[in-house]
């Protein structure tokens, strides 16, 4: 396939760009269900004149339906997108990047969705969809799944579906709450995932950041002990990855600790632990949820994060070396590959 693509690029250099543009138009319409031309042009960064020409062509091919209420993708268009997805990844180098990242960090699987989550809500939704599919593929009978909070994880929950109910599976929060928007709390995400798949769930009604005295007191409560024991036996963990300083502010970490983390080179945060560029843990939070020891024993760890701004943070957590699956986007993957190339050249 690649030799053919390279020949086409020599003969018709703009061919792949046209295909990419039309693919994204169809893809965006499918995600939107029904969308007007002006809104679609804005989301794709195209002029209405250019978009009109492309959508008229796609309509003539039977791939789009244009109504007064907006554009919809046809069934033929849906089938074409499904067939094109693996080819699209090969055409534009995503499959090659997936394999390069997988090999470098010794992961089981890497999934890259097109786009940049920092700039596109659509890409973030696609990230959630890809992660939800990775989770369903990993899920077995009676499995307990621990999930963290955050906006990306909320998208995973929104996109999660199961072809059959999963009454013997459990979803639980990996940690306590941050005291911010309820929609992005681990408790909310765990309950939503359970409801969307017909599974069961348990909640952990404690703050994420605990002092030593509060931690000792809470861990003596039988109800807290029971749910914590369930969380710490999860076979699957699904977690986001954040910028260390942003997450420290969200967790209201005191300035002395923040200064210490900066001095130690904290770059990334995940499940309450702060990692430096080399993947070493430089700071941890006292929590009633998952501990690092629990993560090390977990059979399947799925990391979900995207956006160019997250590239370095994702690479830092991957260097820690205990994730099995990474779901990311094209912008973050490009940054990760750049860092991999630096690692390779530095070790040469």
Residue 334 tokens read as 């490009």
Domains 2-87 and 93-347 share a fold: no
Cα gap 291→328, rounded to integer Å: 24
E strand or H helix that includes residue 73: strand 70-73
Q: What is the pLDDT along the chain (348 residues), one digit of tens a residue?
A: 556 656 666 666 677 788 888 988 998 888 777 889 898 888 788 899 999 999 999 999 999 999 888 899 999 999 998 888 887 777 778 889 999 999 999 999 999 998 899 988 888 988 999 999 999 999 999 999 999 999 999 999 999 999 899 999 999 999 876 556 677 889 999 999 999 999 999 998 776 666 666 666 666 777 878 888 899 889 999 999 999 998 888 777 888 888 989 999 999 999 888 999 999 999 887 777 788 888 888 999 999 999 999 999 999 999 998 889 999 999 999 999 999 998 887 765
Q: What is the DSSP string of 271-304?
A: TTEEE-TTS-EEEE---SS--HHHHHH-SEEEEE
**Could you tell me if 101 and 326 are in contact, meaning their C-beta atoms sit under 8 angstroms apart?**
yes
Identify whether the C-beta of residue 301 lies closer than 8 Å to the C-beta of residue 322. yes
Q: What whole-number distance in Å separates Cα of residue 64 and Cα of residue 26? A: 8
> How far is the CA of 249 from the CAs of 46, 195, 252, 309, in angstroms?
37, 31, 5, 17
- How distant, in Å, are the alpha carbons of 100, 303, 314, 315, 344 from that of 107? 10, 11, 13, 12, 17
Task: Tell me how far apart the alpha carbons of residues 302 and 280 are, in angstroms, rounded to a whole number.
Answer: 19
Q: Looking at residue 253, what is its pLDDT?
A: 80
CA–CA distance, 319 with 322 (Å, rounded to integer)? 8
Q: Residue 212's pLDDT is what?
A: 64
pLDDT of residue 207: 65
Helix (H, G, I), strand (E, B) or coil at 185: coil
Please, what's the b/e burial string for 91-110 (b: 16 or more CB within 10 A of its CB; e: otherwise)? Answer: bbbbbebbebbbebbebeeb
| Correct CATH for 93-347 of 3.30.420.40, 2.40.40.20, 3.30.2230.10, 3.40.50.1360 | 3.40.50.1360
Q: What is the DSSP string of 153-177?
A: HHHHHHH---SS--TT-EEEESS-B
Q: 304: closest CA among 324, 319, 289? A: 324
Confidence (pTM): 0.83
Reading the block at residue 193, the tokens are 């995932």
Token code pair at residue 139 = 């899920």
Tokens linked to 325: 């699956």
CATH 1.10.10.10 fits 2-87, yes or no: yes
pLDDT value at residue 6:
62
| All structural domains of the chain with their residue ranges | 2-87, 93-347
d(CA 157, CA 43): 23
pLDDT of residue 341: 92
pLDDT computed for residue 91 by the predictor = 74
CB-based burial of residue 334 (10 Å sphere; 0-12 exposed, 13-18 middle, 19+ buried)? middle
Q: What is the largest CA-CA distance in the chain?
A: 72
| Residue 302 near residue 138 (C-beta atoms within 8 A) | yes
Residue with tokens 């909640």: 203
């Amino acid at each position: 396939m690649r030799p053919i693509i390279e020949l086409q690029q020599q003969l018709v250099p703009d061919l792949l760009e046209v295909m990419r543009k039309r693919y994204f138009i169809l893809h965006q319409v499918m995600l939107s269900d029904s969308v007007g031309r002006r809104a679609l042009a804005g989301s794709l960064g195209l002029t209405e004149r250019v978009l009109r020409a492309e959508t008229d062509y796609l309509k003539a091919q039977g791939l789009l339906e244009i109504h007064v209420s907006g554009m919809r993708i046809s069934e033929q268009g849906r089938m074409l997108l499904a067939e094109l997805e693996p080819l699209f990844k090969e055409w534009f180098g995503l499959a090659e990047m997936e394999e390069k990242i997988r090999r470098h960090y010794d992961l089981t699987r890497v999934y890259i969705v097109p786009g940049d989550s920092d700039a596109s809500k659509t890409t973030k939704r696609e990230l959630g969809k890809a992660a939800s599919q990775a989770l369903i593929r990993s899920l077995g009978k009676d499995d307990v799944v621990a999930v963290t909070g955050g906006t990306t994880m909320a998208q995973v929950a929104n996109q999660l579906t199961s072809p059959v109910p999963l009454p013997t599976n459990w979803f639980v929060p990996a940690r306590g709450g941050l005291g911010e928007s309820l929609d992005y709390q681990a408790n909310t995400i765990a309950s939503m995932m359970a409801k969307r798949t017909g599974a069961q769930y348990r909640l952990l009604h404690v703050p994420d950041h605990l002092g030593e005295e509060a931690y000792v007191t809470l861990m003596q409560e039988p109800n807290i002990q029971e749910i914590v024991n369930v969380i710490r036996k999860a076979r699957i963990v699904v977690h986001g990855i954040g910028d260390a300083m942003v997450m420290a502010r969200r967790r209201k970490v005191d300035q002395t600790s923040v200064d210490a983390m900066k001095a130690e080179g904290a770059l990334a945060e995940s499940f309450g632990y702060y990692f430096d560029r080399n993947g070493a843990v430089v700071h941890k939070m006292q929590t009633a949820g998952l501990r690092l020891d629990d993560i090390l024993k977990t059979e399947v760890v799925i990391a979900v994060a995207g956006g160019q701004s997250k590239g370095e943070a994702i690479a830092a957590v991957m260097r820690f070396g205990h994730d099995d699956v990474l779901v990311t986007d094209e912008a973050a993957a490009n940054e990760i590959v750049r860092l991999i190339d630096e690692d390779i050249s530095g070790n040469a």
